[in-house]
Structure 1
Amino acid sequence: MPSPGQAELDAAGITDPALRAAYASCRELNARHGRTYFLATRLLPRARRPAVHALYGFARYADEIVDDLGDQRPPAEKAARLDDLSAELERALAGGPSDRAVLTALADTARRYDIDGRHFTAFMASMRMDTHVTGYATFDDLGVYVHGSAAVIGLQMLPILGTSVPRAEAEGPAAALGVAFQITNFLRDIGEDLDRGRLYLPAEELAAFGVDRDLLTWCRHTRRPDRRVRRALAHLVAHTRAVYRRAAPGVAMLEPVSRACIACAFRLYRGILDEIEAADYHVLHRRVSVPARTRAAVALPGMLRAVVARARS
């Protein structure tokens, strides 16, 4: 009996051994690092899962070049490594060979689903920003970064998920959902990002509550709550919930067989905001997560809806 990963590759019609190995590598990255995302992916039809693993695997691979805390290389060297990855990505998307499994799988996915190469270019531009940009003054400034790091991920996913409306109509909500996920990550990972020397939350929004980088760093190191930080994070959580509301109509715009997957990811990622609130915004010294029992409570009904949708299709 084939393993779940092998069954997915069989369903997708991926038979070449080298290509199967490349996709398997991406799946392993998704399973190891993207627990919420991987769980949601299990609600997709098997044939579509390898493509999602390829997108995640590539994004994770590029992100680790920038954010590996054990890698003390200077920013210029990390930028050079990203440039090498970009050049190899361009060759792979053009049909050339690659020694990197994530690029082999990504290029195959891009060809199978006709994903616009500009989305990958924008993603790599944002990854380069992480090598030299350490903060953002306003949400407009941050928007340049999150377009490439998050909005385009939603746009890459659309051809794989399929839409029940013209794709252009679904692109706005898809991009908004990517942004909502990303800002949720910024709020959850604020302490870890400070350790890397970066602060993604806009300085202008924080300053309105008397908060700056020094205060956040002090709170992380002392593990002491601060009323000003609490109010600032409450404001940013409310802002992020508004982004989720803009993204919500997009779920119904997807093909029925894909809706359960994205609805699950939507609820679980938005649930991280609930956990931040439940911790009274005292999250600088620890990383909150959605409890396993909550993930199961969301995923199991989603699995039933996914099965029914597949049967109907």
Structure 2
Amino acid sequence: MSEVAPVSSTVLAAYSYCEAVTGLQARNFAYGIRLLPADKRRAMSALYAFSRRVDDIGDGALDTAVKYERLEHTRALLDRVRADEVPEDDTDPVAVALAHAARAFPIPLGGLDELIDGVLADVRGEEYETWEDLAVYCRCVAGAIGRLSLGVFGTVPGARDAGRAPEYADTLGLALQLTNILRDVREDAANGRTYLPAEDLAKFGCSAGFAGPVPLTELPGSDFAGLVHFEVRRARALFTEGFRLLPMLDRRSGACVAAMAGIYHRLLDRISADPEAVLRGRVSLPGREKAYVAVRGLTGLDARQSVRGRR
């Protein structure tokens, strides 16, 4: 769906604010959306800026009661966007940009409600017994973002199995989130959070967690590398399934997805090669490698290889 009317200078200013937020804070996300045409890039920036606001509330150094209050205030703002009650001269540029994006594209805004629900689970300090439990959380905080993004991307006319595109977008979001969880085990533990399923931790003798006085890798009976490789296999299976989305997208939308997913896929490979690295510090890719993945996404190389790899 294309924009229904020229974009006013007020709305463009709101989008510019969201693009600035994205450029400063998005890290991996920004590499992908640079490949999109202007209207889709702006809409994705609005989605990111709103999502960043929700995440920042959950991660902020605030009292729990204040977090609940601010998240419900953010949900009320989303309700205003959904009801098309945000005027262009509203003082909140994120609301203005998101409202315009929602008019220009068929964005399933309920996905942002799911994101808020997921962050509320973080605020409550929920932990997860099984992968099925964790997958529900991942669908809220990442699968929903995939489905929201698909509302901006759309699918190409006549795409085979296009009705399953939201499912594949959701699954790709799960793959990215599980990769995030593996990358951030040390940081999350320092903040009192454990996301990996309790039954997986027990299976590999890692129930003591990642923030104890004795390094997990030195505890008798623990197999941290085995745990990481187990989760890596799960994430790779999710990537394989999620990459079925790529042939359903136009060239530049497919390049965007291939770039973002490709960065995380390479990050997963790096974690798999040295599982204990995530306990020493934050594992990341250098900027030049991210840019290389983005270029390959634009040429279609990574997309074609990803689709071939699942056959």
TM range (shorter): 0.7 to 0.9
TM-score (norm 2): 0.86
1:53 is aligned to 2:45? yes
Offset at 1:96? 1.8
Task: Work out the percentage of aligned pairs sharing the same amino acid.
Answer: 33
Paired positions, count:
291
The Cα RMSD (Å) is 2.3
Cα shift at 1:110: 1.5
Q: In the alignment, residue 251 of structure 1 is paired with which amino acid?
A: L
2:71 alignment partner in structure 1: 82
Q: Following superposition of structure 1 onto structure 2, how do residues 123-272 of structure 1 map, counting pairs within 5 Å?
A: 123-164=115-156, 165=159, 167-212=162-207, 214-218=208-212, 228-272=223-267
1: distance between equivalents of 2:6 and 2:235? Answer: 38
Partner Cα separation in structure 1 for residue 227 and residue 106 of structure 2: 42
Corresponding residue number in structure 1 for 2:277: 282
Sort the Cα spacing of 1:158 and 1:299 in 2 relative to 1 into closer, same or farther, 3 A. same
Offset, 1:87: 0.9
Q: Matches of 1:148 and 1:192 in 2, distance apart?
A: 21
The equivalent residue for 2:25 is 33
Amino acid at match of 2:231: L
Look up the match of 1:96.
85
Once the 2 structures are TM-superposed, how far is the Cα of residue 245 of structure 1 from its aligned partner? 0.8
Q: Distance in 2 between matches of 1:76 and 1:300?
A: 45
Residue-by-residue CA offset, 1:251-270 (whole Å, 9 max, x unaligned) = 11112332111111121111
Instruction: State how far apart, in whole Å, the 2-side matches of 1:147 and 1:31 are.
Output: 25
| CA distance 1:233–1:225, shift in 2 (3 Å) | farther
293, 307, 313: which one aligns with 2:288: 293
Stretches of structure 1 that go unaligned for 5 or more consecutive residues are 1-10, 307-313
8 Å contact kept, 1:188–1:283: yes
- Report what 1:311 is aligned to: none
Unpaired runs of 5+ in structure 2?
302-311
- Counterpart of 2:180 in 1: which secondary structure? helix
Aligned partner letter, 2:81 = A
How far, CA to CA, are the matches of 1:258 and 1:248 in structure 2?
A: 13
Alignment partners' CA distance in 1, 2:237 and 2:255: 21
Query: TM-score with structure 1 length normalisation?
Result: 0.85
SS at match of 1:110: helix
Q: 1:304 offset after TM fit, Å?
A: 4.3
CA contact (8 A) 1:223 1:285 kept: no
